[in-house]
Structure formats: C-alpha cells, structure tokens
C-alpha cells in the first residue's frame, strides 16, 4: 500500500522503515530539515539497534522517501499515520497535543476522499473524537492505532507487535488496517478492534501499569532494605506467580524516558479534566516513589563517602534512561549525576551511546571515553544504566585506577559477590547486607 508517516522522530522513523520492510511504499513527512536530510541519506538521527540497516536498505530500494510537503503526502498516500510527539506541557502535567493537531490540520486540505488518517501518537483520551470532525470534513476517515514499541527493541516490536489495537468507526477502516498489517497478523499478532476512546486509553493504561509495577517493586525494595531482606530474590519469587510475571520487577533507580513519566502525569491530568481524578490519584504516588529512588541513591552515595560528596570523585556509568538507547529524556542516571555535581562532587560520566545527547542536556558534567577512564581516581563508582559492558569490566584494571574500591549498583545488575571478592565495598538498593548473603555464609560456614 502507499502510505505516509507524518513525523519521523522515534516512532515515525521506525514505523516508516518497518512498513517499507513489510512491503509498503512509504513517504515520510518530516519538517525538521536536519532530521529529514539525515533520514533521506538512510541515516538514523538517534541510536536504535537494527534501524539504520533497515532505513538504508529501503531508502536505497526507493520504497522509502522523505518530504516536508503535506500536499505531496496527501496526493501520495491512501493511509496516513500520525506519529508526532506529545511531550509534557511546560505549565502543567498534561500532554501537549499541539503537534498532533498541527499534523492533522496541515494534512486535511490535501486529503483525498476515502483515504484513512491513523493516529499512532500517545494522546489524552478524547483527542481522536475531536480530530474526527477535521478529518471527516475533508472527506477522509480517522482511526486510532496506538503504538507499543520499546526503545532498544523498536524494530522487532514494530515488525511483530504483541498486539494490534484498532480504534475504528467503520468496517471499511477495520478492513483497511487488517489488510495493511496482514504480515503481522499472519505471523500471530493478536488484533483488538474497539472504539477511539478505548484505543487511546489502552496505550496510557499499559504505560501506567508498567510504571506502577516498577514503583511497586521499588517501594518494596525500601522495606527490604529496612528489614534486611533482598529485593532481587523477592522479585524472582514473585515473578514465578504467572498472574504477576517476572518482567518490570527490576528494582533500582526507577523509570525515565520520554514515555512512562509523562504518560502517567498526563493520565492523572486527563482524569481530572474528566472529573475522575481520585480514580487515578495513586499514579501520583507511583511518580513520587519513582523520584524517591533518585534520592535514595544520593543518600547512599553520601553515606559511602563519609557524609558528604563535596570534592569526591564519582564515576557515573550510564547516562541513557535505559541501555541500547541514547535517549536521556528524564533519565534517572543523568538526573543523579547532575545533582551530585551540584553538591560539589567531581562527576565523570561514561555512556556507550548517549555521550552526545547527555552533553547537550547536561553540558557542565565531564564525559569520559570509557568506563575505566571515568573511574580514574574515583572514590565511588555508580552503576546507573545497565549496559552489558559494565557487567564485564575487568575488575583488576578497574581496581588499579580508582582511589577507593567502592561501588553502588543502582540497577541491581552487577554480580556484587564477585566485586566483594575483589576487595570492593558494595551497596545496592534493597539488597541484603553482604554479611547475610547465603553464598557467603556457605563459604565461611555458620560459625562466622
């Protein structure tokens, strides 16, 4: 099919390249000239594994092109996907839908009758209802088809989504989307057909649920710490209950990124506008618990450094909000690094992919070219984004460059037993104290 993708940021660029891979002819509309020029050369303006190859392949094959012209888009596409961002508004917790509105109103005069406009952006419930009037007046039809891709796995999530939610108003729109996604449906992606409002709400509910799961385990981790229990063992045991499941029970410095934090806030805000704020007020606590994790790390670091971080040298491993991404929006790692710097610590940050985006966001921090370089003369190593390379750092080399062998694992992903055996003082959120570790007890015997 001939489709357009309006907005070629994270979501749009991935959708455009993946839909070309599924065999469709794709025209991407991107108004930022720098991004458009890069994309047109087959280059991805951000870090996403596998996307560069796909984009280059289909730019070369001619199945994927880019433009800034809505007139060209209207003439080209039978299906138009709206993929622009909906950031948090500066003055409130609500989502800024002005980019969505602008995309639809810019496209509307050029829409051919009978074509379909499909919203993929994450929006407050009721947005589709409002935009329907604009699209219908142009003789086209609206559908809402939220996106559930994760950064770092965006290509796989888009080529084989774990569900397709189709918010539609006619059998014709449903059929057009089923035809469009046929390869995914054939390969097993389940389809849920529903109304606009439910489709919009599925997306924010999914993110709110994930955020709640993370904050739940983080809240429990604080109790674990107070009680001498171990949150990693606890999460493993919880995860064996099929009703709970093991994923998103990773305790640590909490969630960040361009989606979970702003989506829970926008959900509370929208519920308030609908007169049901109390129903969603627990999400404020989810947000609070999440922010609290950052404080817990700052407190633990301060304690490890003898009561003050001033003038201490701290190596921060990780800047991205999660591994396999260069996204530093609302990144817990960078926020902690920034606070330590403000309190007078000498902070050296290393991230395998996010140095450039981090420097743009926090220009006053020092950035090192490797994990070891960041740790030279360090009094403390902070592990804040769980890139795999941090788990395989050579501890002998590291031990030789630091000033004090102290590590704080903010993601509960390092094998701290090994670090301790190499002479390091370790700390983690919600882990039992080393003296009580069963492995250690087995090693030294019950008498110890």
- Is 8 annotated as catalytic? no
Between residues 141 and 324, which has the closer beta carbon with respect to ligand UGA?
A: 324
What binding mask, one character per residue, do residues 301-340 give for ligand UGA by CB under 6 A, x or -? --------------------xx------------------
Neighbour-count burial for 217-242, b at 16+ CB within 10 Å, e otherwise? bbbbbbebbeeebbbbebbeebeeee
Binder of ligand UGA out of 94, 252, 410, 430 (CB under 6 A): 252
Q: Tokens for 287?
A: 């947000």
| Residue with Cβ nearer ligand UGA (151 or 379) | 151
Q: Considering the complex, what minimum distance in angstroms separates the CB of residue 257 from ligand UGA?
A: 4
From the list 170-178, 190-198, 247-255, 418-426, the region that binds ligand UGA by CB under 6 A is: 247-255
Decide: is 216 part of the binding site for ligand UGA (CB under 6 A): no
**Closer CB to ligand UGA, residue 72 or residue 96?**
96
The Cα–Cα gap between 5 and 23 comes to 15
* Minimum CB–partner distance for residue 411 and ligand UGA (Å): 7
Helices (H), 167-316: 171-180, 182-186, 196-227, 231-239, 260-273, 277-280, 282-304
Smaller CB distance to ligand UGA: residue 50 or 399?
50
Q: Which of 72, 156, 248, 372 binds ligand UGA (CB under 6 A)?
A: 248
Asked whether position 204 contacts ligand UGA by CB under 6 A, the answer is no
Backbone angles phi, psi at 143, to 5 degrees: -140, 160
Beta-bridge mates of residue 402: none
Q: Please report whether residue 210 would count as binding ligand UGA according to CB under 6 A.
A: yes
Position among 149, 301, 340, 384 found at the interface with ligand UGA (CB under 6 A):
149
Q: Are 261 and 204 in contact (CB under 8 A)?
A: no
CB atoms under 10 Å from CB of 193, counted, come to 16
Which segment (54-62, 95-103, 244-252, 339-347) binds ligand UGA by CB under 6 A? Answer: 244-252
Q: How far is the CB of 232 from ligand UGA (least distance, A)?
A: 11
| Minimum gap (Å) between residue 112 Cβ and ligand UGA | 30
- For ligand UGA, the closer of residues 30 and 147 by Cβ is 147
Nearest residue to 322 via CA among 234, 210, 406, 224 = 210
HSE (CB half, 13 Å, CA atoms) of 202?
Answer: 20
Among 249, 316, 374, 408, binds ligand UGA (CB under 6 A): 249
Q: What residue has token string 């063992």?
A: 233
Residues counted in the chain: 448
Instruction: List the one residue out of 370, 333, 175 whose CA is nearest residue 256.
Output: 333
Total chain residues near ligand UGA (CB under 6 A): 21
To ligand UGA, the closest distance from the beta carbon of 202 in angstroms equals 11
280: its two tokens:
């969603």
- Interaction of residue 282 with ligand UGA, rule CB under 6 A: no
Q: Using a CB cutoff of 8 Å and minimum separation of 24, what contacts does 100-107 make?
A: 100/127, 100/131, 101/131, 103/6, 103/7, 104/131, 104/134, 104/135, 105/134, 106/70, 107/6, 107/70, 107/73, 107/74, 107/80
Among 207, 221, 406, 412, binds ligand UGA (CB under 6 A): 207
Q: Which residues pair with 397 in a beta bridge?
A: none
Q: Which residues are catalytic?
A: 259
Rule CB under 6 A: which residues touch ligand UGA? 122, 147-151, 207, 210, 214, 248-250, 252, 254-257, 259-260, 321-322
């Amino acid at each position: 099919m001939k489709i357009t993708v309006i907005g070629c940021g994270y979501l749009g660029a991935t959708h455009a390249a993946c839909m070309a891979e599924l065999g469709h002819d794709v025209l991407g509309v991107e108004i930022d000239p720098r991004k458009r020029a890069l994309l047109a050369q087959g280059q991805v303006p951000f870090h996403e594994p596998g996307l560069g190859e796909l984009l280059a392949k289909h730019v070369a094959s001619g199945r994927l092109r880019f433009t800034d012209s809505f007139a060209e888009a209207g003439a080209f596409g039978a299906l138009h996907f709206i993929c622009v961002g909906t950031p948090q508004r500066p003055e409130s917790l609500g989502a800024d839908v002005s980019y969505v509105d602008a995309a639809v109103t810019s496209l509307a005069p050029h829409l051919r009758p009978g074509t379909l406009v499909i919203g993929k952006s994450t929006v407050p419930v009721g947005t589709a209802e409002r935009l329907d009037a604009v699209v219908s007046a142009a003789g086209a039809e609206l559908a809402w088809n939220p996106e559930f891709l994760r950064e770092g796995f965006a290509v796989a999530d888009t080529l084989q989504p774990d569900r397709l939610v189709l918010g539609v108003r006619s059998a014709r729109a449903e059929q057009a989307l089923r035809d469009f996604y046929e390869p995914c449906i054939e390969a097993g992606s389940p389809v849920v057909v529903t109304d606009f409002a439910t489709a919009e709400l599925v997306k924010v509910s999914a993110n709110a649920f994930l955020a709640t799961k993370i904050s739940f385990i983080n809240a429990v981790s604080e109790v674990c710490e107070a009680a001498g229990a171990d949150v990693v063992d606890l999460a493993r045991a919880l995860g064996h209950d099929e009703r709970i499941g093991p994923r998103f029970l990773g305790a640590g410095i909490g969630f960040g990124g361009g989606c979970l934090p702003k989506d829970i806030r926008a959900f509370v805000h929208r519920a308030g506008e609908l007169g049901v704020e109390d129903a969603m007020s627990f999400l404020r606590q989810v947000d609070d618990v999440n922010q609290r994790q950052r404080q817990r790390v700052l407190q633990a670091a301060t304690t490890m450094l003898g009561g003050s971080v001033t003038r201490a040298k701290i190596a921060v491993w990780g800047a991205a909000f999660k591994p396999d991404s260069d996204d530093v929006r609302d990144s817990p790692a960078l926020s902690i690094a920034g606070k330590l710097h403000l309190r007078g610590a000498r902070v050296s940050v290393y991230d395998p992919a996010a140095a450039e985006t981090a420097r743009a966001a926090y220009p006053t921090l020092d950035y090192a070219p490797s994990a070891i370089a960041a740790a030279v003369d360090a009094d403390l190593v902070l592990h804040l984004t769980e890139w795999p390379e941090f788990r395989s750092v050579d501890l002998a080399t590291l031990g030789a460059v630091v000033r004090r062998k102290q590590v704080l694992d903010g993601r509960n992903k390092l094998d701290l037993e090994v670090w301790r055996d190499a002479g390091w003082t370790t700390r983690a959120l919600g882990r039992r104290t080393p003296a009580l570790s069963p492995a250690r007890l087995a090693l030294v015997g019950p008498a110890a």
